[in-house]
Amino acid sequence: QTKIKVVKNKMAPPFKIVLTEILYGEGISREGELIDMGVDAKLVEKSGAWYSYNGERIGQGKENVRNWLKQNPTVAKDLEAKLREKFVPGLVIGDVEEVAEA
């Protein structure tokens, strides 16, 4: 995991700290973020080293779960949609694209 501190930013408040995973040759791990946020939001259950989603065990260890999410993109999109609904209620995916264009 990598600790990133924003020192100066014109778009958002400065001096925020974030923990994320940066993988060599891949960049910031999107699936790793889904796993971490899913556990925080109680959408993904973690029991020891095992992770479960919707009552189904999806892998032992974070690396195996990350690979499982890459192989099952529909489940990853479903998890992302549930996370967006939980953390940013009322925001539709189309709204994000419109904001990015503006």
State the average pLDDT over residues 79-86.
Answer: 90
Phi, psi of 46 (to 5 degrees): -120, 125
Structural domain boundaries of the chain? 29-94
Q: What percent of the chain has pLDDT over 70?
A: 88
3-state SS of 22-42 is EECCCEECHHHHHHHHHHHCC
CATH 3.30.250.10 fits 29-94, yes or no: yes
Q: What are the structure tokens assigned to 71, written together? A: 């192989």
Task: Give the pLDDT confidence score for residue 1 in this predicted structure.
Answer: 80
Q: Which residue has the tokens 């925080």?
A: 40
Least confident of 18-27, 30-39, 87-96: 87-96
Query: Which pLDDT band, with edges at 50, 70 and 90, does 66 fall under?
Result: very high
Model-level pTM? Answer: 0.72
